Amino acid sequence: MISKELVEILRCPACVKEKGGLLTLNRDAWLICQDCGRKYPIVDEIPVMLIDEGDKWVTTAAASLPVPPPPR
């Protein structure tokens, strides 16, 4: 499980410079950007914070995200 302290300091790499990029933890498996809606999977307790990875899931509803996220 990812620590609460880590979630508090991580930011969306696509939004951090312009909007803040605040992330929320979803079902202990995803980080969701509150600004752009990109969704970053947490694989083996490591957040995959690549913009391309977040883009893959941007149109998927949070309730429809697979748990656990698929391996890369």
Q: Summarize pLDDT for 32-60 with one digit per residue, the tens.
A: 999 999 999 999 999 999 999 999 999 99
The predicted-structure confidence for 13-24, as pLDDT tens digits, reads as follows 999 989 999 999
Residue 3 tokens, joined: 């620590």
Q: Give the CATH number of domain 4-64; options: 2.60.120, 1.10.3470, 1.10.10, 2.20.25.
A: 2.20.25
At 11 the pLDDT is 97
Instruction: Please tell me the pTM assigned to this model.
Output: 0.93
For the chain, domain boundaries: 4-64
Q: DSSP E strands: which ranges in 1-72?
A: 23-26, 30-33, 39-43, 46-47
Q: What is the pLDDT of residue 1?
A: 80
